[in-house]
Copies of this chain bind each other. A is one copy, B any other.
């Protein structure tokens, strides 16, 4: 009996904590991983350097970065320099850091690459517990995308199911970090901050910094994040 080839998976890797953990989980489940990042005009573009490092260290077979100018659409603090990143804490409403339809766009492009690779699995590190309330991080969104994926593609027409994996969706930030540490993720190379310095030091006050810091605090583990000199942490 010949050795079974690994199943291929496209893994969305932003450079942050969640997607690094997701890549480590996909690898641990035996998938051959194809890491996909996006240069979409985000103000925290330094995260793309982190994405490359993470893809390399966690054993992705290939890392691809797709460029698209979502900043020409604007509508988010992450893609429009005129809209400030909120720093006063995570609230109940959908915040201005929400990028309209971002996960729909990212998953659509991942779907296209998966089809070319003949991969039937896509991993995305969305989380609906310690998160900012973005609509496209919810389980019902992921279910709807999976249904779409199976109608949208040649593979789907030919009866091959595409599965969207969201291994973090029900985990707290502390549980995500615990999982990643057990799998050997070096969180020192990940960047969560929405407005880091050009060299990647975190601000400590945006929602992403707050959620991350709180996760490490709950777990009782030191966060290796490098902060800017004026950060209140």
> Which residues of A are interface residues toward B (Cβ below 8 A)?
64, 66-70, 72-75, 94, 98-105, 107-109, 111-113, 115-116, 135-136, 138, 140-141, 144-145, 147-149, 151-154, 156-157
Contact = CB atoms under 8 A, between A and B. Distances in A.
Contacts of A157: 94, 135
Given A141-B148, A151-B144, A153-B135, A112 B108 contact: no
Contacts of A101: 108-109, 111-112, 115, 152-153
B66 A72 contact: yes
B151 A141 contact: yes
A24 to B, nearest CB: 24
Q: How many copies does the complex hold?
A: 2
Contact of A75 (B64, B116, B151): B116
A143 to B, nearest CB: 8
Given A152-B141, A157-B135, A73 B103 contact: no
Q: Which of A64, A103, A105, A109 counts the most chain B CB atoms within 10 A?
A: A105
Q: Which of A64, A72, A151 counts the most chain B CB atoms within 10 A?
A: A151
Contacts of A144: 144, 147-148, 151-152
Contacts of A64: 72-73
A100 B73 contact: no
Contacts of A148: 104, 141, 144-145, 147-148
A157 B133 CA distance: 11
A127 to B, nearest CB: 16
Contact of A66 (B68, B136, B156): B68
